Amino acid sequence: MIIMKFGGASLSKSDGINKVCQIIKEYAAKEKIVVVVSAMKGVTDDLYCVADFLKQKKFRSAMEKVGDIKKEHFNSLSVIKSKSKAVKVESELISIVSRLENFVRNAAKKEITPARIDYIVSFGERLSCPIVAGALESHGMMAHPIDASFVLATNHSFGNAIPLYKKSQDHINQILFPLVKNGIIPVITGFIGFAADGCTTTLGRGGSDLTAAYLANLIKAKALYLWKDVDGFYTDDPLKDRQARLFTKLSYYQAEKMAKDGAKIIFYKAIRPVARKKIPIYIKSFINPKAAGTVIN
């Protein structure tokens, strides 16, 4: 079994989502796959803007921003070619967005606490997840969206929550493994989890990498694939520096140190959970999936 995590850049356009589906289909012919998805590019930032507007009592601006987010996701439904599947996903999106809209409408009565900020910003992944699952089904695969706030147990450190292995393992055993056993690809929201009282938590910026890493640890994955918009781990951002050099191999220690020093290709906290189980991390490009990429082991 392998974990594949796709970031926001791969999900921001129909072409990107189709490439994601093609990659998953190719690997799924040989391996059992669990998919982790980020929010669409820029959506998490937009949701933090919603939270800021609510703090400033700018309720109309907050609702307008939610409307923009809603429109962006509904436009993405064109990637699902089956009309019946598109209608099903549209219904799911309506239900998800209505929860956010209701929260914003009632925000005047609430203090915007760290817990409520986590709730607001969790909707990026909650919206992208059913779209990806629906797109996979329209490409001939069986897939099922899973909200990680039912799977990934964490502590109460809102905005920077730490997953709890034992509790998460129990939920994975109940929810994830039966799907995989039946040939269904679970598509899981990255970035978010839940605390003991049921409150939504988030794992911090880069948290989708961390979700994927913890899941890889818990399911004892053969490998973790992180799909990016560049060919692998470089000495610098290759989109800004043409002289940047690609690393084909890195140790866990080297990758963690470089990530801590500012390399944005991987969230540094995502390395130790897989290193503990000696699970290799492959950083590859969804744009150029045949490129070798970087292996961290």
CA distance 113 to 116: 5
Are β-strands 249-250 and 200-202 bridged in parallel, bridged antiparallel, or unpaired?
A: unpaired
User: Is it the case that residue 277 has pLDDT exceeding 80?
Assistant: yes
**pLDDT per residue over 119-171, tens digit each?**
999 999 999 999 999 999 999 999 999 999 999 999 999 999 999 999 999 99
**pLDDT per residue over 65-74, tens digit each?**
999 999 999 9
User: Is it the case that residue 12 has pLDDT exceeding 90?
Assistant: no
Average pLDDT over residues 3-29: 95
Look at residue 109 in the predicted model and tell me its pLDDT. 84
Residue 193 · residue 41 · CB < 8 Å: no
Average pLDDT over residues 81-100: 96
Find the helix or strand (DSSP H, E) in which 60 lies.
helix 59-75
Find the helix or strand (DSSP H, E) in which 202 lies.
strand 200-202
**pLDDT per residue over 217-238, tens digit each?**
999 999 999 999 888 888 877 7
**SS3 state of residue 90:** helix
Residue 50 · residue 65 · CB < 8 Å: yes
Tokens of residue 270, six digits: 């995502």
CA distance 176 to 138: 21
In the chain the domains, ranked by start, together with CATH numbers, are: 2-296 (3.40.1160.10)
Look at residue 37 in the predicted model and tell me its pLDDT. 98
CA distances from 128 to 9, 69, 89, 240, 281 (A): 12, 11, 10, 28, 24
Mean per-residue pLDDT of the chain: 95
**pLDDT per residue over 32-43, tens digit each?**
999 999 999 999
**SS3 state of residue 294:** strand
Average pLDDT over residues 247-267: 91
